[in-house]
C-alpha cells in the first residue's frame, strides 16, 4: 500500500486555487461606437454614435465577436480576469508537476564518470 504524502500535491493545490476563479472566460472585451439604424438619430448625426461592448473569442479556430448587454459587462470583466489567472496557473503547472515527479522518483542514473588519464603514462615498449 502506498503512503500518502503529508504535504499537498500539485493537483490539490491547483484545484484549491481554481475553486475561487469562476466565472472564467478566454477572450477580450472592447467598447466600440456604432451608428444605429434610425434615420434621424441625433447622436449619429452629431458623430457621437452609440457605445456597444463586443466580446471577441475564438471558436473552432476562427475569431468571433458577440454584442454584450451593458448590464453584463462587470461580470464579463471579472470572468476575463479569472481566465487570465487560470491561464497563468496552467503555465505554472508544467514545472511544478516535473518538480513533484522528480522529488518522488529520483534519477536512477547520474552523469557518466569521465575516464581520467593517469599522470604517469606507460612508456611504449620498443620491439
**Residue 33, SS3 per DSSP:** strand
14 within domain boundaries: no
CA distance 54 to 27: 10
Examine residue 5 and state whether it is found in any structural domain, yes or no: no
Evaluate if residue 48 carries a pLDDT over 80: yes
Q: Is the pLDDT of residue 124 over 80?
A: no
Q: Is residue 6 part of a domain?
A: no
Query: How does DSSP classify residue 18?
Result: H
Model confidence over 79-101: pLDDT tens digits?
999 889 888 888 877 777 777 77
Q: Is residue 10 domain-resident?
A: no
| In a domain? residue 86 | yes
Interval 1-21: pLDDT, tens: 444 444 466 667 777 777 777
Residue 52, domain extent: 22-104
Assign residue 72 a region: left if phi > 0, alpha if psi is -120 to 50, beta otherwise?
A: alpha
Work out the widest C-alpha separation in the chain, in whole angstroms.
114
Global pTM value = 0.58
**Number of domains making up the chain:** 1
- For residue 40, being part of any structural domain is answered with yes
Amino acid at each position: 500500500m502506498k503512503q500518502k504524502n503529508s504535504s499537498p500535491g500539485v493537483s490539490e493545490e491547483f484545484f484549491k486555487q481554481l475553486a475561487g476563479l469562476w466565472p472564467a472566460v478566454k477572450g477580450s472585451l472592447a467598447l466600440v461606437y456604432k451608428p444605429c439604424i434610425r434615420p434621424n438619430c441625433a447622436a449619429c448625426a452629431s458623430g457621437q454614435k452609440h457605445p456597444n461592448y463586443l466580446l471577441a473569442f475564438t471558436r473552432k479556430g476562427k475569431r468571433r465577436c458577440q454584442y454584450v448587454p451593458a448590464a453584463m459587462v462587470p461580470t464579463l470583466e471579472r470572468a476575463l480576469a479569472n481566465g487570465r489567472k487560470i491561464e497563468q496557473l496552467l503555465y505554472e503547472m508544467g514545472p511544478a508537476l516535473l518538480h513533484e515527479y522528480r522529488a518522488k522518483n529520483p534519477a536512477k542514473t547520474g552523469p557518466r564518470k569521465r575516464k581520467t588519464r593517469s599522470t604517469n603514462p606507460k612508456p611504449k615498449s620498443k620491439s
